[in-house]
Chain A
Amino acid sequence: MSYIHEIEGLDIAWCPGCGNFAIRKALMAALEDLEVPPQKLVIASGIGQAPKMPHYLRCNCFNGLHGRTLPVATAIKACNRGLTVIAEGGDGDMYGEGGNHFIHCLRRNPDIVHLVHNNMVYGLTKGQASPTSMRGFQTPVQTEGVILEPFNPIAVAVALDASFVARSFAGHGEHLKTMIMEAARHRGYALVDIFQPCVSFNRVNDYKWFEEHTYQLEEGYDPTDRQAAFGKAMETERMPLGAIYRNPDRKTFEQQQPAWEDDSRPLHERETDMDELRELVESFRG
Chain B
Amino acid sequence: MARERRDSQTKDLNVVICGGAGQGIKTVESLLASLLRASGLYVFSTKEYMSRVRGGSNSTDLRLSPRPVECPVERVDLLVALGPRALDHMADRSGEGTAVIASPDSLESGGEEFPGRPFPVPIGGMAEDAGRKVYSNTVAAGVVAGAFGLDLQRCLEEVRSSFEEMGEEDRKGNLTAFESGFRAGEDLDLDLSVPAPEESSGEQLLLNGAQAVGLGAIAGGIRFICSYPMSPSTGVLAFLAGQARRFGLVVEQAEDEISAVNMGLGAWYTGARSMVTTSGGGMALMSEGISLAGMVETPLVLHVAQRPGPATGLPTRTGQEDLDLVLGAGHGEFPVAVLAPGSLKQAFSLAARAFWLAEKHQVPVFVVTDQSIMDSYYPASELDLDGVITERFLVDAGEGYRRYSLDGGPPSPMAVPGSGPGLVCLDSDEHDESGHITEDLDLRVRMVDKRLGKFAGLAEDALEPELVGDGSIMVVCWGSSRNACMEAVERLDRDDVSVMHLSQLYPLHDRVAELLEAAESVITVEGNATGQMGRLLGDLAGITPDHEVLRYDGLPFRADTLAEKLRKAIEGGRR
Contact = CB atoms under 8 A, between A and B. Distances in A.
Interface in A44-83: 44, 47, 52, 54-55, 58-65, 68, 70-76, 78-80, 82-83
A103 interface: yes
Contacts, number: 202
Nearest to A266: B270
A281 interface: yes
Contacts of B267: 75-76, 78-79, 267
B256 A59 contact: no
A65 B262 contact: yes
B246 A64 contact: no
Contact of B435 (A61, A80, A271): A61
B428 A47 contact: yes
Max count, chain A CB within 10 A of own CB: residue among B37, B273, B427: B427
A258 interface: yes
B252 interface: yes
Contacts of A82: 418
B421 A268 contact: no
Contacts of A271: 221, 390
Contacts of B466: none
B418 A55 contact: no
Given A104-B255, A277-B215, A280-B243, A76 B269 contact: yes
B69 interface: no
Nearest to A72: B266
A54 B422 CA distance: 15
A64 B205 CA distance: 43
A232 B447 CA distance: 50
Interface stretch (B77-85, B288-296, B487-495): B288-296
Interface residues of B, number: 70
Contacts of A284: 205-207, 211
A143 interface: no
B270 A39 contact: no
B156 interface: no
B271 interface: yes
A65 B436 CA distance: 14
Interface in A170-184: none
Contacts of B388: 274
B270 A268 contact: yes
B358 interface: no
A278 interface: yes
A269 B224 CA distance: 13
A285 B380 CA distance: 9
Interface of A is mostly: helix
Contacts of A285: 203-206
A108 B255 CA distance: 10
A58 B423 contact: yes
Interface in B373-423: 379, 383, 385, 388, 390, 394, 397, 416-418, 420-423
Interface string B285-310: 00011001000100000000000000
A44 B205 contact: no
Interface string A243-286: 00000000001000111000100111111111011101100111
A158 interface: no
A62 B288 contact: no
Contacts of B247: 272-273, 276-277
Given A54-B425, A68-B258, A272-B390, A277 B385 contact: yes
Interface of B: 34, 37, 202-207, 211, 215, 218-219, 221, 223-224, 226, 243-250, 252, 254-256, 258-260, 262-267, 269-274, 288-289, 292, 296, 379, 383, 385, 388, 390, 394, 397, 416-418, 420-429, 435-437
5 contacts: A39-B418, A61-B424, A62-B296, A76-B270, A100-B259
Given A64-B262, A79-B223, 17 more contacts: A38-B423, A52-B437, A60-B417, A60-B425, A63-B425, A63-B429, A64-B426, A68-B259, A72-B262, A76-B417, A80-B271, A80-B417, A253-B252, A268-B271, A271-B221, A281-B385, A286-B205
